[in-house]
Structure 1
Amino acid sequence: MKRKFADTLKKLRTSKLISQHELAEKIFVTRSAIAKWENGYSLPDMLMIKRICKALEVNEYDLMEILLDGDDELNVIILDDRKIVVQGSLSVVEEVLPNANIFGFTKPIEAVEFAKKKKISLIFLDIEMGKTNGLDICKNFLEINPQTNIIFLTAFVEYSFEAWSTGASGYLLKPITAENLKAQLKNLRYPLINLGEIL
């Protein structure tokens, strides 16, 4: 995300023939702050985004979308009410997706709240979690981001038909293996970037 924002900011500034020093003066920051943003070392806050867009005469939503989107990050959630399953799945997912940011949860409400704050590309979701049904939680995740890939994790084959009707991308029996995971990743509804080298 930082790199994408940095490149966009530099392109916008240079297209307006404005130097870093001139932009810094317009938005009341130091030239080094502009340099840090354009080199991907840090990101401006929303107030600065508005000032930058006003100074460069561009739509503020274009830059805000880059900050909030995080398209260049692969964020993955593993949600299972059993800690041992989460821990075991973490190592397998990390092996197959070494560049991903992987977050494990045992409480559905925490995972859903996390997904509201960060764009999640892939979720491994248990179906039976005590009183909570993963099929219902799936709907919550897809309401937050309809383009999230969801792969159900379960020990019960009988859920397979119902799982497919939710709009999920896949279905894995526990415990998951690297081989089975790679097979599922080939059939995601919304392909992930840079998977060709892995699969």
Structure 2
Amino acid sequence: MEKSFTENLKYYRQMQGISQRELAERMNVDRSTIAHWENGDRTPSYSDLGLLAEILETEVSALLTASPNTGRDIIIVVDDEEIALKGAMSVLLTVAPNSEIRGFSRISDAIAFVKQNAESVSVAFLDIEIGTNSGLKLSETLHEISPKTKLIFLTSFPDYALSAWDTEAVSFILKPLKVDSAKKVLEKVSVQ
């Protein structure tokens, strides 16, 4: 199936805050089936598409058409803590309704997405500790791929502030992301 389906499936699943495992349970399939659909290794049946659209609260056509991005700014959030990721995405959906919000719990997925959408990703909210990986290192990689992307660190550890300022970051926010701090930083980087 076209790459747009794989991206859309993942996008709408994340927008609903549903893990691959949860979606698989609701679809009555293995989690690996969802992973194969998102990777483009397999395609769902027509009946599966209908159920996917229902669960993800969208239309089948939205799953099958070009990427949900319609020239809007894209804001990404990278955080391995599901509750923090969902919370930040929810706040950003409220604060920046004209932007597309994408969330990633894995660094490799975020990097792949930015490589494909470098011109559209305007802001990246990055956790500093992402599993055993470093958000500081991720910021360097993202800056190389998309120098115009504004990098903002979102973390529970204020001790990292000095290290964060040694990067290309424009701001540093303590978790959880709140509406006021999100508005303030997005105004600073001219995204609404």
Aligned-partner residue type, residue 150 of structure 1? L
Quote the offset at 1:72 in angstroms: 4.3
Q: Give the 3 Å change call, closer, same or farther, for CA 145–71 of structure 1 in structure 2.
A: farther
Q: Which residue of structure 2 aligns with residue 4 of structure 1?
A: none
**TM-score, scaled to structure 2:** 0.60
Q: Pairwise mapping of residues 21-32 of structure 1 onto structure 2 (< 5 A)?
A: none
Structure whose alpha-carbon radius of gyration is higher? 1
Quote the offset at 1:90 in angstroms: 0.9
Q: Which residue of structure 1 aligns with residue 72 of structure 2?
A: 73
Offset from partner CA, 1:110-144 (integer Å, 9 cap, x none)? 00000000131011100001210000000110001
Q: Which residue of structure 2 aligns with residue 88 of structure 1?
A: 87
For the aligned residue pairs, the C-alpha RMSD in angstroms reads 1.6
Quote the offset at 1:186 in angstroms: 3.0
Offset from partner CA, 1:59-100 (integer Å, 9 cap, x none)? xxxxxxxxxxx9942111110011111111111001100011
Distance 1:161 1:178 in 2: 24
Distance 1:73 1:176 in 2: 22
Q: Which residue of structure 2 aligns with residue 134 of structure 1?
A: 135
Q: Out of 143-152 and 71-80, give the one that drifted further.
A: 71-80
Identity of aligned pairs, percent?
A: 36
Q: Which residue of structure 2 aligns with residue 177 of structure 1?
A: 178
Counterpart secondary structure, 1:160? helix
Task: Note the residue ranges of structure 1 that are not aligned, 5 or more in a row.
Answer: 1-69
Counterpart secondary structure, 1:99? coil
Aligned-partner residue type, residue 136 of structure 1? K
Paired residues in the alignment total 122
Distance 2:93 2:124 in 1: 13
Q: Give the 3 Å change call, closer, same or farther, for CA 168–71 of structure 1 in structure 2.
A: farther
Q: Which residue of structure 1 aligns with residue 114 of structure 2?
A: 115
Distance 2:154 2:145 in 1: 20
Aligned-partner residue type, residue 78 of structure 2? L
Does the 8 Å contact 1:90/1:104 carry over to 2? yes
Q: Pairwise mapping of residues 158-177 of structure 1 onto structure 2 (< 5 A)?
A: 158-177=159-178
Distance 1:91 1:185 in 2: 15
Q: Which residue of structure 1 aligns with residue 97 of structure 2?
A: 98
Q: Which residue of structure 1 aligns with residue 61 of structure 2?
A: none
Aligned-partner residue type, residue 76 of structure 1? I
Aligned-partner residue type, residue 79 of structure 1? V
Counterpart secondary structure, 2:124? strand
Distance 2:180 2:159 in 1: 22
Moved over 6 A (4+): none
**TM-score, scaled to structure 1:** 0.58
